[in-house]
Amino acid sequence: MAKICVCLTGKTLARDLELLESNRKYVDLAELRVDCLDPDERFHIRRFPEMAGLPVILTVRRSLEGGYYVGGEGSRISLLAKGLAYAAADQRRNFAYVDLEEDLNVPSLEEAARTFGTRIIRSWHNMEGVDQDLSGRIKKLRRVGDELVKVSVTAGSLADVIGVYKAAKETAGIDKILTCMGEYGANTRILSEFLGSRISYTSIKNDDLKPAAPGQLEPKVLSELYRFREITAKTKIFAIAGFPLKFTNSPLFFNTVFRMEQADAVFIPIVTDSVESLISLAEEIGISGLSISVPYKEKILPYLIGRSERATAIGACNTLVKGVEGWMGYNTDAPGFSDSLLSFIGKKDLKGKKITIIGAGGAAKAAAYEVHRLKGKALILNRTPARARILAEPYRFAWAAFDSRGAVLMEKYSDIIIQASSAGMAPDTDSDPIEFYKFSGREVVMDFIYEPQKTLCLRRAEQAGCKILNGSDLLHRQARYQYGFFMNKEFPPSLVARVKF
- Integer Cα distance of 318 and 328 in angstroms: 11
The secondary structure element, H or E, covering residue 162 is: helix 158-170
- Integer Cα distance of 239 and 470 in angstroms: 23
The contacts of residue 312 (CB under 8 Å, 6+ apart) are none
Kindly provide the b/e burial profile for residues 269-294, where b requires at least 16 CB atoms within 10 angstroms of the residue's own CB.
bbbbeebebbbbbbebbebbbbbbbb
DSSP string, 415-450: SEEEE-SSTT-TT-TT--TTTT----S--EEEES--
* Active-site entry in 11, 25, 246, 297: 297
Active site residue 297: yes
Q: How many CB atoms lie within 10 A of CB 430?
A: 9
Helical H runs in 3-133? 13-23, 48-52, 73-84, 107-115
Query: Cβ distance 340 to 478 under 8 Å?
Result: no
- CA–CA–CA angle 88, 204, 229 (5° rounding): 75
Amino acid at 381: L
Residue 206 sits at φ, ψ, to 5 deg, of -155, 150
Q: Which letter does DSSP use for residue 94 in this model?
A: S
Radius of gyration of the chain (CA): 26
Residue 56 sits at φ, ψ, to 5 deg, of -130, 140
Q: Could you give the dihedral angle defined by the CA atoms of residues 178, 180, 185 and 190, in that order, rounded to the nearest 10 degrees? A: 30
* Helix/strand/coil for 315: coil
What is the set of active-site residues? 297
